[in-house]
Amino acid sequence: MKFRILNKFSQTPAMMLRKTGYLQIKDSISQKTSYVRKLTDQRYPRFHLYIEESPEEVVFDLHLDQAKTRYEGQTAHNADYETPQVKEELTRIYLAISRFKV
């Protein structure tokens, strides 16, 4: 699930996300940077967030990873994209980062 917001913040998206409980990770294969927030002391389930940033806007793309990919080389995984839990988390992020608006 995605949401867009004007890029008018006093801090970078990475800094704001750290303050909302997200950790930065880098995919060892694609080398893409993303952010995760674990829901338990296990690796899964976890919220997984990608950010696209431009001078005009920031796009947050969030899903809930339920489990690890089952097969070597496979990119598809067991994730939720449009559930109430994902919507609630996007609302939580939005409210948290709103305090950093300029």
Q: What is the pLDDT of residues 12-21, one digit of tens each?
A: 999 999 999 9
Counted domains in the chain? 1
Contacts of 29 (CB under 8 A, 6+ apart): none
Give the residue numbers spanning the domain of 29. Answer: 2-98
Residue 75 pLDDT: 56
Name the pTM for this structure.
0.87
**pLDDT recorded at residue 28:** 82
The pair of structure tokens assigned to 49 is: 């967030």
Low-confidence spans in the chain with pLDDT less than 50: none
**For residue 69, what pLDDT is reported?**
67
SS3 category, 39: coil
Q: What is the pLDDT of residue 30?
A: 84
* β-pair partners for 47: 37, 64
